[in-house]
Structure 1
Amino acid sequence: MFGFTLKDFLGFERMVASSLVKLVYWIGIILGGLAAISQVFAAFGVMRYSFGGGISYLLAAIVGTVIGVLFWRVLCEGMIIMFGIYDRLGEIKRDLARGSQA
């Protein structure tokens, strides 16, 4: 499913965290969506007392959700980039080791 074996998991030869970033991303998106839905219901609850306040709350919930999802995406992409850099440095190290033996 994630493209790694038990040997990879136990041996630390390959980073498995980079494979899990996508799973963490989708869990965050689902949690963010649930939070957005709860905020929309809360906004409708505020509308019972103040229509303008409820509309403001609703707009803030929508804008906050969009900003939150974008922030979460950038954060997860940053993690993928860091793991990619780690993998590339490992490749460079192996290539240099092979080059010095030749």
Structure 2
Amino acid sequence: MDATKPIVLVIAGHLTPAEVPRFYEELYERLYGELAALPDDFGAAEVICEVGGLVRPNLAAVEVLARLRLDARRRGCRVRLRGAARELRLLLDLVGLGDMAL
């Protein structure tokens, strides 16, 4: 992986609370598969979550993003959102995660 290229994860569709664990697990596996491929001296990676395809952003989507951010930070990564709709940005602000949006 190129040291200047961020890891890009796509989150799209409509998430329900029941889908959060499965969806998060898929993102988690993808993220850590990408991180495991990096050399030891790589340093911090940037993770971009493309969220423009989310339909009716809700607290289930916020939960997935919060979990992803927490795990990525434990690995020294920064998570940023791209394409966040106004509704998602408002929800993120409400729970204190507004700084994730680009």
- When the two structures are superposed, what TM-score results if normalisation uses the length of structure 2? 0.30
> If each structure's strand is expressed as a fraction of its own residues, which one has the higher value?
2
> If each structure's helix is expressed as a fraction of its own residues, which one has the higher value?
1
- When the two structures are superposed, what TM-score results if normalisation uses the length of structure 1? 0.30
Task: Give the greater-gyration-radius structure (CA).
Answer: 1
